[in-house]
Amino acid sequence: MNNIKQNFSIKDLENLCGVKAHTIRIWEKRYNLLSPDRTQTNIRTYSLRNLQKLLNVTYLVNSGYKISRVSKLNNEEIDEYVRRIVSDNSTKNQAINSLKISMLNYDLQLFMDTFEQLSEKRTFRQIFTDVFIPLLTEIGLLWQTNTISPSHEHFITNLIKQKLLVNIEKLQYVNPTKTDRAFILYLPENEIHELGLLYINHEILLKGYKAIYLGPSIPLESLPNLLSFHENTVFVSYFTVRPEKDKIEEYVNQFNEIVCAKRLSEFWMLGKQTMNLSNDSASNHRYFSSIGDLITEL
């Protein structure tokens, strides 16, 4: 499962590049753009290099280059054209495509160049909401359909995490300006998907509140002592895969029994697992359908 995927179907290429399979076949026949292998049953299979080339070609075509011109370039020239455009432009769709190329090539420099160009015209909040979130959503779908490997996903998400941590650190040097409440952010046991929670931490600090970020896989039993942190404490958690759907109801009830035994605190929750909660919730429980909804509440 952790091996880098080396062969792709034409449907994989369509999903990754946004180019219809019919168009890919035309480009192959008319311009000899790709050189797929064929199975014994005559089904096209494409190498990782084929995929990378098609992503680059799509990027150039979407940037205004004609396919007839692009098809005459060799692979090195195509790569150079892409880098040149990335250095001159930083629109949303171009940036997302550039970051996908970075992911598939494990190209750190391309990621850094793209982020740098975005930073010249956008705040970090804009970059995260306009570029990173759509990219991560697409990557999640590609991973679920086995179009990309876990190593691709981990490469790009760890780079995004690094950028989050750098921007969070900048805000931590600023003294809080709002003292009416404070936030404790954590993920439940065996939950490791923390990008969403990290970004919420960034937004809480940006709004001027105090925050303690505990990170992944925190047992409920370790949380009650944090109530002394502030007289009005809000706990925030993000349920992506844990608790499991048949255990999440029990989990939120245990939160009140263990954490709020002596003092009731608000409990804010996000993530797809919250869809498995009933509407009959405790008065201190809040469910948010998106990060944007939670930010609006701050």
Q: Which domains does the chain have, with CATH numbers?
A: 7-169 (1.10.1660.10), 174-297 (3.40.50.280)
Percent of the chain's residues with pLDDT above 70: 94
Instruction: Give residue-wise pLDDT tens across range 185-238.
Output: 999 999 988 999 999 999 999 999 999 999 999 999 999 999 988 889 999 999
Residue 33 has a pLDDT of 92
pLDDT tens across 61-74, in order?
988 899 999 999 99
Mean pLDDT of the chain: 88
Q: What is the pLDDT of residues 110-138, one digit of tens each?
A: 999 999 989 988 999 999 999 999 898 88
- Indicate if the pLDDT at residue 146 is higher than 80: no
Tokens of residue 120, six digits? 């010249």
Q: Quickly state the pLDDT bin for 87 (edges 50, 70, 90).
A: low
Nearest to 136 by CA among 117, 148, 153: 153
Q: Cis omega before residue 243 (within 30°)?
A: yes
Which residue would you say has higher pLDDT here, 239 or 262? 239
Q: Per-residue confidence at 3, pLDDT binned at 50, 70, 90?
A: very low
Residues 248-258 as b or e (16 or more Cβ within 10 Å = b): beebbeebbee
pLDDT band at 140 (very low <50, low <70, confident <90, very high): confident
* This model's pTM is above 0.85: no
Confidence of residue 2 (pLDDT cuts 50, 70, 90): very low
Mean pLDDT of the 263-289 span: 87
pLDDT digits (tens, 9 = 90+) for 25-38: 999 999 999 988 88
Lowest mean pLDDT among 88-102, 160-174, 185-199: 88-102
